Amino acid sequence: MRIRTIPQIYRNANRWREILSVLSKYGLADWLSRFEFAFGKNWLKNRDGAVLADQSRESRIRLALEELGPAFIKLGQIMSTRPDIVGGELADELEKLQTSVPADSPYRVTEIIQDELGQSFDEIFEEFSTEPVASASIGQVHRAKLKSGEEVAVKVQHHDIRHRVRVDLDILTGLAQLAERLPELKPYRPCATAAEFQRALRRELDFTRERRHLEQFGKAFEENEQVKIPRVFSEVCSERVLVMEWLEGTPLSAPEEIRQLGVDLGAIARQGAELYLEMIFRHGVYHADPHPGNLLVTDEGAIGLLDFGMVVRIEESLREDIEDMLLAIVEQDADQLAAVVMRVGLVPPGLDETNLSLDLTDFVAHYAYQSVEQFELAAALNEMFDLMRRYEIVLPSSMALLLKVLVMLEGTAQKLLPDFSLMEVIGPYQRKIVARRMSPTRQLRKAKRFAYEIQQLAEVVPRRLRDILQQVQTGRFDVHLDHRGLEPSVNRLVLGLLTSSLFIGSVSLVSNHVWPVKDVSVPGTLGIALSAAMGLRLLRAISKSGNLDRHK
């Protein structure tokens, strides 16, 4: 693939130039760090004044994404959930990504709200704070009061954010196509990661999805007094404006303030963990961004959830695979863990299953003698992610995200209670998981699905067999063989035959003095020179392929 064949370059030339400039700037620190002088190193700095040569590769990737803007920050945040692809070290660094997007002017905010809702500003709000509470990559949040008197949080999408995101997504597609051609970047699966990112970001640009998530979670936990989900005011919501109940509380990022409320931090940590396990294993849908800023504790001791832009649904079969994986880790069953990993993961050709099983056995044995109270699930999952990456096994995105959420959940809980172990909470769920799997309702549902699949198979197979037999009978049955990698070999064979034929013919012309000039055959000499050039070209092609004299 040539760079000029990528249409995104021509459509967004200025933005391409800006992106490549930033990437080059942060990449140059690799070269500077090899020299033993400080003069040149201090020239390249990021926008905060930090010297790039002093930063690790992971830190420079994070800094570059922050400088490139909202879409790239979102890309980094999604990559942070895939340690099985990018590695645990880079994933941990990308978790630190901070969005510093300037807030839109009050005029812009007013204009967007009125255009979206079709009402004047004064008809909707009694009060509206023009100073935003927060400004993230997609939108900003303002505190307000409706005409009916309810205190609300108003989330407004940034002006022109859709156009900027579209341009950056277009460019990311081009960058992924280029990166796919580089051997050192291919293990990161650039095209697949870019496609996954595009789906996630387009969903976040539609606030009606977040509104439906809020309504769904509100209904699921309406009888649970320990959980607080903001109520949505659907009549004043749209694709770009979301109005929800204002929740008063203290974020989990401020444990000292929570302790001053007289709330037991250990109880809150356990309560939050049980809440997430209930979402995952009972409802099959969960809030996928449990960092301390999105969780707060109300004055009544309930846990409030904020920002439902990232919500993930898990189908039942995948949920069972995740349960099997966690149970295998809990029970230190290396064989079961290896079976689950190879069943659900995208396994590379020629996987060394013997060494994988040995490494998984060592992994399980390392944690086998730890008590439940001392078992750190986050460390175990991070180590397993590194193991998957070493063997180039790619987990399904929903499974990788869920395991990463469990890591984040334990980290968030440990901010409240440093010795908290998520395994203490997961342990009792082992019995619930087994009981739920053996329940008559679940078995009946699986039996119905199995019967339906058998019925579909019984309807399709006879018809397909009849079609094949008819094709055989009429002589229209064809077998298509895909000779992978054969075309280059055939091309080289043909070029070799042409080269040798040209050389032999040219030697014959020289020997017989055909069209001589000073007793030297002109066409013969030209033919020999051309055959020599073709021979060198053929040798170069074989040498570049690495198969000139390799023995297997």
The residues carrying an active-site annotation are 289
The contacts of residue 87 (CB under 8 Å, 6+ apart) are 385, 386, 389
Of 404, 408, 8, which is closest to residue 175 (Cα–Cα)? 8
- Looking up tokens 């037999």 gives 469
Q: How far apart are CA 109 and CA 133, in angstroms?
A: 13
Q: How far is residue 328 CA from its own chain's centroid?
A: 25
Show the 3-state SS of 405-460: HHHHHHHHHHHHCCCCCHHHHHHHHHHHHHHHHCCHHHHHHHHHHHHHHHHHHHHH
Structural contact between residues 377 and 62, judged by C-beta atoms closer than 8 angstroms? no
Burial degree of 272 (CB within 10 A; 0-12, 13-18, 19+): buried
What is the CB neighbour count within 10 angstroms for residue 82? 24
Cβ neighbours of residue 284 under 8 Å, at least 6 residues apart? 313, 314, 315, 316, 319
Burial of 17 (C-beta count, 10 Å sphere; 0-12/13-18/19+) = exposed
Angle formed at CA 160 by CA 154 and CA 165, multiple of 5 degrees? 100
| Phi, psi (rounded to 5 degrees) for 376 | -100, 105
User: Quick one: angle between helices 316-330 and 422-437, nearest 10?
Assistant: 130
Q: Which of 149, 165, 145 is nearest to 157 (CA)?
A: 165
Give CA–CA dist 125/145, Å, rounded. Answer: 6
- N-term to C-term CA, the chain: 30
Dihedrals phi, psi of 280, to nearest 5 degrees: -70, -55
Which of 440-466 are b and which e, b meaning 16 or more Cβ less than 10 Å from the residue's Cβ? Answer: eeeeeeeeeeeeeeeeeeeeeeeeeee
Q: β-strand 139-146 against 134-135: which pairing, if any? A: antiparallel
- In this structure, what token pair is assigned to residue 476? 């229209």
Distance, in Å, from the CA atom of 94 to the CA atom of 196, rounded to the nearest integer, reads: 17
**Closest Cα partner for 334 from 290, 295, 366?**
366
DSSP 394: B
Cα(335)–Cα(324) distance, integer angstroms: 12
Instruction: Assess contact for 354 and 372: CB atoms under 8 A.
Output: no
Give the DSSP H/E element, type plus range, for residue 68: helix 57-68
Phi, psi values for residue 41, rounded to 5°:
-60, -35
Q: How far apart are CA 8 and CA 18, in angstroms?
A: 14
